[in-house]
Amino acid sequence: MDDGEASMVTTIQRQGEGAEDRALAFLERAGLQLVQRNYRVAAGPRRPAGEIDLILRAADGTLVFVEVRERRDSRCGGAAASVTPAKQRRIVLAARHFLLRCPTPPPCRFDVVAIEGGQLEWLQAAFSAA
């Protein structure tokens, strides 16, 4: 990777972190508490890697796995549409891995925070593990 590519990756990572910071602040104001940020599961043989941007706990004890997506505009379907079925499967894989550490898994849901054109939209129960 040359310096230009490395710089671009760093810029994209910073933008992603900024979107996650904004989403986290919004969700905490809504009463959720951060459990973990950027939970990653390494890839294995014939198994894709998975990552969850934010894991939070709602006041009722529900564990909320959150994917944060930011897009400048709605071209190509926009931020929410970029959470494809393949991406959802990787998030679910990581969530299942995370839940292995829980003696009694709590109720869970999968939310998406879509930031598009500067506007934030919180999509609760955006998809399921089924």
For 88-121, the pLDDT digits (tens) are 999 999 999 999 998 998 999 999 999 998 899 9
Q: Report pLDDT digits (tens) over 22-45.
A: 999 999 999 999 999 999 998 777
Cα gap 116→109, rounded to integer Å? 22
Cα gap 94→52, rounded to integer Å? 7
Residue in the block written with tokens 């998809």 = 127
Please name each of the domains of the chain with its CATH number.
Answer: 3-127 (3.40.1350.10)
What mean pLDDT, rounded, does the chain reach? 87
In this predicted structure, what is the pLDDT of residue 128?
94
Statement: residue 13 has pLDDT above 80: no
SS3 assignment for 29-92:
HCCCEEEEEEEEECCECCECCEEEEEEEECCCCCEEEEEEEEECCCHHHHHHHCCCHHHHHHHH
Q: Is the pTM of this model over 0.75?
A: yes
Token reading at 106: 């709590």
